[in-house]
Structures are given as structure tokens and as C-alpha cells.
């Protein structure tokens, strides 16, 4: 098992890091006391469920930092490849971030500066034994994610989960979609008696829809657009892209076009998924 323990200064980006590890396929937990980490991994090893990658966020609210080093040594004895990631930032940057968020610091004190100073002293020993230290003071969100990719994922930038989902406009638009394409301009198989009861996954529907040149041109243009956009989204640190393909009822045209886009995108990208929102109504 690979385990990453994320810790560091409040306001330095620990939650953002944890979310990124989750996007990259890690099972993530927050503020599990160090003495329970070994117990949790033993529970996993003795169960039928397999968790190969684990990320745990530990901050000052968990206290018990003096036990963390011992916990790490015990994990290594269990053949667990564990690393401590320590996130830091300059005091003035942390202060500005807290002002923007308007949230209280987890360590109570008469001022934010004193809270930060107390936390630094509490974390000194952990910082000294950390495997990776990242100062996020001058990093944008996308730069921070790219840095994590380079350190932990061999520079892998294909962390974008692409979801293609067909739907019918008459049943409501796909609210979670980042991009929506309307394919109601394509000839509707619904009005052809022998095709009406079939759905867009059927070969007869596919043959009908792609017998029209406009359908092929449309798919080609959408693929070209996505091949332009996807690298831009990845560069900005976007972790999920939902593409909605809509027709009238969500049974014929949108399903067929969504399937075609899925087949072409999965050749190039690692994590492409397809679903049909209105399948229950077919």
C-alpha cells in the first residue's frame, strides 16, 4: 500500500492537496489520529476490500503529533510505502488567505499572527522529519497541482476525469454539465416506425444516424474542440469535465452521439466514462 500523510500549516493548502489526491484515485481521510492509522490499515489488510493508495490529512486539530513519527515507522514495518507531505507558506500569505476566507484559525490566540506562531512551533518536529516540503506561498492552484503531479505522479497530467452523459431536453437540462451540445438538428429516428422502440446503442440506430453527413461532421468538430480544450483544462488543474449531449427524449440521437464521442475519446485519454441519464425512461 502507498500512504501519503498530508500535514503542515493551516492555510497552506492541505485540503486542496487532499482533494487532488482523491481525484488521482487515492482513498482519502481527514484528521484521523496517528495512533488509529495503523489500526485502520490492519483492518484493510484483514478485509476483502483492497485499498492500494491512501492519503490522510492530519492537522493541529488532531493533536497527538508526537506519535506521528512512531506511526510512520510502524507503517513501514507493515510493508506500507509511506511519505509525509508538509505544506508551508509565509506568515503574511497565510494571514491574507484567512482574511479572504473569513474563517477562524484552529489555534485560539489573541491575534492571527500569534496563532500562526504557535502552530509553527507545534509543527517544527514534524516538518524536520517530512519527506516532501512544499511552500505554496507563490503557487496558484494549478501550479500547486502540477507540482504535486511532478512529485507524486511522475508528472502525470491526465488526471482529468471525462464524463459523457446523454439526456433529453424534455426531461430537463443536465445541470452538472460543463459543456452541453444540442443534437436535435439530426434526423429523428423516433418518427420511423421500425426504429422508434430501439435506443441509440442499437446498430440500426447508429447506421441511420451516421448515414447523414452532418452527424459525422458534428462528431469530428466536437472532437477537434475537445482536443483543444482538454489540455487547457488539465493545465488549469480541472479534475472533472462533464459533457452533456442532448436530444428531445434522451433515447436515440443523444445516446448514439455520446457513444461515438466516448469511443473516440477513450483512445487518447485514460479516464473517460459514459452514462445515459434518461435510460430508465426508455
- Single pTM value for the model: 0.62
The C-alpha cell that represents 229 in the structure block: 480544450
**pLDDT digit string (tens) for 57-103?**
998 766 666 678 788 888 888 878 889 999 999 999 999 999 888 88
CATH of the domain at 50: 3.40.50.300
User: 128 with 228, same domain?
Assistant: no
* Numbers of helices and strands, H then E, in the chain: 9, 9
pLDDT at residue 34, as a whole number: 81
Phi-psi region of 64 (alpha: psi -120 to 50; beta: other; left: phi over 0): left
How large is the average pLDDT for residues 235-262? 93
User: 203 with 258, same domain?
Assistant: yes
User: 7 with 140, same domain?
Assistant: yes
**Average pLDDT over the chain, rounded to whole?**
90
Q: Which of 152, 180, 208 is the last residue of a domain?
A: 152
How large is the average pLDDT for residues 120-144? 90
User: 21 with 102, same domain?
Assistant: yes
User: 122 with 184, same domain?
Assistant: no
User: 268 with 129, same domain?
Assistant: no
How large is the average pLDDT for residues 160-177? 93
User: 128 with 226, same domain?
Assistant: no
Relative to beta strand 161-168, strand 240-247 is parallel
Spatial distance between the Cα atoms of 243 and 235, rounded to a whole number of angstroms: 18
User: 140 with 41, same domain?
Assistant: yes
User: 36 with 148, same domain?
Assistant: yes
Exposure class string for 14-30: b at 16+ Cβ within 10 A, else e: bebbbbbbebbebbbee
User: 105 with 189, same domain?
Assistant: no
Strands (E), 236-279: 240-247, 272-276
The C-alpha cell that represents 223 in the structure block: 472532437
Look at the chain and report how many structural domains it folds into: 2
Domain hosting residue 89, numbered range: 2-152
The C-alpha cell that represents 57 in the structure block: 490529512
Q: Which of 123, 152, 181 is the last residue of a domain?
A: 152
Q: Give CA torsion, residues 149, 153, 156, 158, to 10 deg.
A: -90
State yes or no: pLDDT of 47 exceeds 70: yes
User: 219 with 268, same domain?
Assistant: yes
Q: Give CA torsion, residues 69, 72, 78, 81, to 10 deg.
A: -150
Amino acid at each position: 500500500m502507498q500512504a501519503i500523510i498530508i500535514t503542515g500549516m493551516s492555510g497552506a493548502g492541505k485540503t486542496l492537496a487532499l482533494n487532488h489526491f482523491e481525484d488521482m484515485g487515492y482513498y482519502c481521510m481527514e484528521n484521523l489520529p496517528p495512533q488509529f492509522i495503523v489500526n485502520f490499515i490492519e483492518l484493510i489488510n484483514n478485509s476483502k476490500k483492497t485499498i492500494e493508495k491512501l492519503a490522510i490529512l492530519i492537522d493541529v486539530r488532531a493533536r497527538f503529533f508526537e506519535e506521528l513519527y512512531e506511526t510512520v515507522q510502524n507503517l513501514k514495518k507493515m510493508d506500507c510505502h509511506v511519505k509525509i507531505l508538509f505544506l508551508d507558506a509565509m506568515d503574511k500569505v497565510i494571514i491574507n488567505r484567512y482574511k479572504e476566507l473569513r474563517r477562524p484559525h484552529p489555534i485560539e490566540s489573541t491575534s492571527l499572527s500569534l496563532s500562526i506562531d504557535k502552530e509553527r512551533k507545534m509543527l517544527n518536529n514534524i516538518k524536520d522529519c517530512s519527506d516532501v516540503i512544499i511552500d505554496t506561498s507563490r503557487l496558484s492552484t494549478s501550479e500547486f497541482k502540477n507540482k504535486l503531479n511532478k512529485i507524486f505522479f511522475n508528472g502525470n497530467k491526465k488526471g482529468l476525469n471525462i464524463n459523457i452523459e446523454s439526456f433529453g431536453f424534455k426531461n430537463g437540462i443536465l445541470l452538472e454539465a460543463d459543456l452541453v451540445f444540442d443534437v436535435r438538428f439530426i434526423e429523428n429516428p423516433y418518427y420511423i416506425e421500425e426504429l422508434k422502440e430501439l435506443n441509440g446503442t442499437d446498430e440500426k440506430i447508429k447506421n441511420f444516424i451516421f448515414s447523414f453527413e452532418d452527424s459525422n461532421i458534428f462528431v469530428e468538430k466536437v472532437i477537434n474542440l475537445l482536443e483543444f480544450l482538454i489540455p487547457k483544462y488539465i493545465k488549469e488543474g480541472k479534475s472533472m469535465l462533464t459533457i452533456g449531449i442532448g436530444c428531445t427524449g434522451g433515447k436515440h440521437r443523444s445516446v448514439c452521439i455520446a457513444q461515438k464521442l466516448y469511443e473516440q475519446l477513450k483512445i487518447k485519454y485514460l479516464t473517460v466514462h459514459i452514462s445515459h441519464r434518461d435510460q430508465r425512461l426508455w
